[in-house]
Amino acid sequence: MIHSSDLIAQLSHPNQPLAQALGFWLVGLLCLCRRRCRSAFALLSVGMAWLAVCSTPAFSNWLRSGLEDRYPQRLASAYPVADAIVILGGAGTDASPIAADDPGRWSESRTGFGLLLFRQGRAPRVLLSGGDGEALAMAGTLERQGVPSPALILETQSRDTHQNAAYSAPILRNHGLQRILLVTSPIHMPRAVASFEKQGLEVIPAPTLDSCRLRRCATPSWRPATVLLLTGQSLKEYGGMLYYRLRGWG
């Protein structure tokens, strides 16, 4: 059963398979109204087939693996030393595992994994990148966990990955920082790495840890709506990577 919140999410973004299928169906209905039955049948069938494929865990996992497997996940202690840790705002910056004092879950969030890298001495400085208060929120979380304020650098204007890189690069250079540990979610890492390398920085990808993926957990009994949302996340990243390349951003 698809809940209303899932349905809204599916229809509110063009990267979501349900929205794409709906587009095929609407064009198909228009063709049907104009008595173009063959075209209508083809479009309606394509929309249904695409929705069916995107709702399968196998296809969703295949798309996701194509993004996440580019940069293997490692424990914080396994990374080399760099000049700075750069943590990107956005999905995954949720500080609730840290606020709840649950170290076992810290590595699953961007803020938490950045904290673990800092505590392991992987870099002496931490740059937090994100507008709409994201950088400030992450800074507050890290300070409450004992990270000294002088170690933190804030970039508070960015609204997307390109801006994360474009606005962070000059700040890093002004501080004499060139080699960075880049922290973001595994699915987002390919686009983020390309964006920061485009700015001439030496990037060491440090994706957050998916503990279930590392343990090779059995696939849960996913609802189709959940699978479609996960598929949509992957399609968004593939689309974003293509768009960034066309714009010369990564």
Residue 66 CB contacts under 8 Å (≥ 6 apart), including other chains: 234, 238
Q: Is the pLDDT of residue 47 over 80?
A: yes
pLDDT tens digit string along 73-103? Answer: 999 999 999 999 999 998 656 555 565 566 6
The span from the CA of 135 to the CA of 86, in Å, is 11
Taking alpha carbons only, the member of 103, 149, 131 closest to residue 139 is 149
Q: CA–CA distance from 16 to each of 30, 50, 55, 177 (Å)?
A: 22, 11, 11, 38
pLDDT tens digit string along 154-210? Answer: 999 999 999 999 999 999 999 999 999 999 999 999 999 999 999 999 999 999 997
- Which of 44-58, 108-122, 182-196, 233-247 is predicted least confidently? 44-58
| pLDDT for position 33 | 85
Structural domains for the chain:
4-68+225-247 (no CATH), 76-208 (3.40.50.620)
- What is the average pLDDT score of the chain? 85
Percent of the chain scoring above 90 in pLDDT: 59
